[in-house]
């Protein structure tokens, strides 16, 4: 039996997020004691904790797990090479959602039963090494500070945005509702519930974080589809969520599949931190297949979004044919609006590209310890940069698409002279529901044309 006491030096700091332990076993080569192909090692493991050196240990979890050994011996298997170590892949061992206690005790036992062929044909064990992956103190302080600052910022702009909408005499249009829902999902992922993990042993923090991020992903991807679509639709097709079911439906289904995949591992780890979907061949193949399919779907989504943005640009270019007939001041006003809108669409594409890249890398990073020499890691700068980009983008969208109470078009329509007819045709809608911006109204194709 092997025992290890792990002192959590981070309890005086803010490093209370999560720990992943990977088990590495060093096997010695012996003639007559070779490791069999596909050998399975059975591990009887237990985890306990205490908060001072005098109190008794309290058991957190206990389980009997099996892991498949994947070892190789690169030299000749002769008597002269006895004692040399096999080269073995890392094995997933344990994952916990929070480390709120001061000391942890880890007991590892390898029972042997020749009749039941338990731990038979695994060679001679010389050493056991543990590799710990955790969130360090410096990153945690930055992460907590960002969430604490950004939560009220997005909440205030969201309240201001919805108040501007309620002041209008018309009901909210679909685009405004979706922007508000995007703000809610951003606020939900911003709430710094991690502060409570300092004093509470909430083992579900990792699962809860994945659920929050999944909700935001589905809302953000759906918003981009509706955002582009509302600048393409005819007035008779606008402002109806049912129009987008073919695009939004697969996004919701994909998010649900992500949730199921997450529950298959981290859901089970709520009661058994030693469980891993990568422990079996079937689980490994399913997990890798899921990651590959998710990456392909993310790339296809981005290509479809690029096509929709191209369609929006072409739609706006067609509307520019009406600008030369306007007065100079009004023409310059709309040219400025078009330029700023195109810039916003390019920013949207950039944000979408970075989000897709981050999603793919995050999925690969989830299993990079299981893929041998092929590793992809997400550093803290990239992680916090993407998170800050999301908040800045949502803040900008709510600020720019808040309904304006200025009547620029109405004030100048009386001064437009003989061009007033074309101005009204360009800036008004056929229905009683006006859009949130002049660009929104301008891109709507008149069904009477």
Q: What is the pTM of this model?
A: 0.77
- State residue 81's pLDDT score: 67
H/E stretch holding 60: strand 58-68
Q: Cβ of 190: how many Cβ atoms within 10 Å?
A: 23
> How far is the C-alpha of 186 from the C-alpha of 213, rounded, in Å?
9
CA separation, residue 78 to residues 32, 142, 171 (Å): 10, 54, 83
Q: With respect to CATH, is domain 137-401 assigned 1.20.1070?
A: yes
Q: Name the packing angle between helices 281-319 and 245-262 (round to 10°).
A: 150
CA 192 from centroid of its chain's CA atoms: 16
User: CB-hemisphere CA count at 13 Å for 108?
Assistant: 22
- State residue 233's pLDDT score: 60
> How far is the C-alpha of 132 from the C-alpha of 272, rounded, in Å?
18
Residue-level pLDDT, tens digit, the chain, 449 residues: 555 555 554 433 333 344 444 444 455 544 445 677 777 888 899 999 888 888 889 888 899 988 887 777 777 766 766 767 777 777 788 888 777 788 888 888 888 888 888 877 777 777 777 777 777 777 788 888 899 999 999 999 999 999 988 888 888 888 889 999 999 999 999 998 888 877 777 778 888 888 999 999 999 999 999 988 887 765 556 677 888 888 889 999 988 888 888 888 888 888 888 888 877 878 888 888 888 888 899 999 999 999 998 888 887 777 666 667 666 777 676 677 777 888 888 999 999 999 999 888 877 766 544 444 444 455 677 888 899 999 999 999 998 888 765 554 444 444 444 443 333 333 322 223 445 555 555 555 443 34
Q: In 86-196, at which residue ranges do the beta strands (DSSP E only) sit?
A: 87-88, 91-96, 103-109, 124-134
Residue-by-residue DSSP string for 8-30? -GGGGTT--S-EEEEEEEEEE--
- Three-state DSSP class for 175? helix
> How far is the C-alpha of 119 from the C-alpha of 13, rounded, in Å?
41
Q: Cβ of 188: how many Cβ atoms within 10 Å?
A: 16
- State residue 185's pLDDT score: 94
Q: What are phi and psi of 29, to 5 degrees?
A: -80, 135
- State residue 372's pLDDT score: 47
Q: Cβ of 217: how many Cβ atoms within 10 Å?
A: 19
- State residue 7's pLDDT score: 53
CA 387 from centroid of its chain's CA atoms: 9
- State residue 66's pLDDT score: 87
Those residues with Cβ within 8 angstroms of residue 397's Cβ, 6 or more apart along the chain or in another chain:
179, 182
- State residue 418's pLDDT score: 41
- State residue 355's pLDDT score: 92
> How far is the C-alpha of 136 from the C-alpha of 138, rounded, in Å?
6
Residue-by-residue DSSP string for 305-348? HHHHHHHHHHHHHHHGGGGGGS-HHHHHHHHHHHHHHHHHHHHH
Question: Where are the chain's structural domains?
Answer: 39-116, 137-401
> How far is the C-alpha of 46 from the C-alpha of 65, rounded, in Å?
11
- State residue 131's pLDDT score: 75
């Amino acid at each position: 039996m092997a025992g290890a006491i792990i002192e959590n030096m981070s309890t005086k700091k803010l490093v209370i997020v999560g720990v992943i332990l990977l088990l590495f076993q060093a096997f010695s080569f012996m003639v007559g004691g070779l490791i069999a192909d596909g050998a399975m090692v059975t591990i009887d493991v237990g985890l306990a904790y205490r908060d001072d050196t005098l109190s008794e240990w309290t058991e957190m979890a206990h389980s009997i797990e099996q892991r498949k050994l994947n070892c190789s011996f690169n030299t000749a298997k002769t008597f002269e090479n006895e004692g040399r170590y096999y080269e073995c892949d890392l094995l997933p061992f344990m994952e916990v959602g929070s480390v709120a206690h001061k000391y942890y005790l880890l007991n590892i036992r390898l029972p042997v039963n020749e009749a039941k062929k338990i731990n038979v044909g695994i060679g001679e064990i010389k050493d056991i090494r543990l590799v710990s992956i955790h969130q360090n103190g410096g990153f945690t302080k930055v992460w907590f500070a960002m969430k604490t600052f950004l939560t009220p910022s997005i909440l205030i702009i969201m309240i201001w945005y919805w108040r501007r909408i309620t002041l209008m005499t018309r009901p909210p249009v679909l685009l405004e509702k979706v922007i508000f829902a995007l703000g809610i999902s951003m606020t939900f992922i911003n709430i710094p519930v991690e502060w409570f993990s300092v004093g509470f042993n909430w083992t579900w923090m990792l699962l809860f974080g994945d659920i929050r991020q999944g909700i935001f992903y589905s809302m953000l991807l759906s918003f981009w589809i509706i955002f582009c679509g509302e600048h393409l639709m005819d007035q008779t097709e606008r402002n109806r969520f049912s129009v987008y079911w073919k695009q939004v439906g697969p996004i919701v289904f994909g998010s649900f599949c992500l949730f199921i995949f997450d529950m298959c591992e981290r859901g089970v780890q709520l009661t058994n931190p030693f469980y891993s979907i990568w422990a079996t061949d079937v689980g490994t193949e399913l997990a890798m297949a899921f990651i590959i399919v998710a990456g392909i779907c993310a790339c296809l989504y981005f290509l479809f979004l690029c096509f929709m943005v191209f369609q929006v640009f072409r739609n706006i270019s067609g509307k520019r044919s009406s600008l030369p007939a306007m007065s100079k001041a009004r023409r310059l006003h709309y040219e400025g609006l078009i330029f700023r809108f195109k810039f916003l669409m390019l920013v949207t594409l950039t944000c979408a590209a970075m989000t897709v890249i981050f999603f793919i890398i995050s999925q690969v990073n989830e299993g990079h310890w299981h893929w041998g020499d092929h590793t992809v890691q997400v550093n803290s700068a990239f992680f916090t940069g993407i998170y800050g980009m999301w908040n800045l983008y949502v803040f900008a969208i709510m600020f720019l698409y808040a309904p304006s109470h200025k009547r620029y078009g109405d004030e100048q329509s009386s001064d437009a002279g003989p061009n007033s007819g074309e101005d009204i045709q360009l800036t008004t809608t056929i229905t009683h529901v006006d859009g949130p911006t002049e660009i929104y109204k301008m891109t709507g194709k008149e069904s009477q044309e």
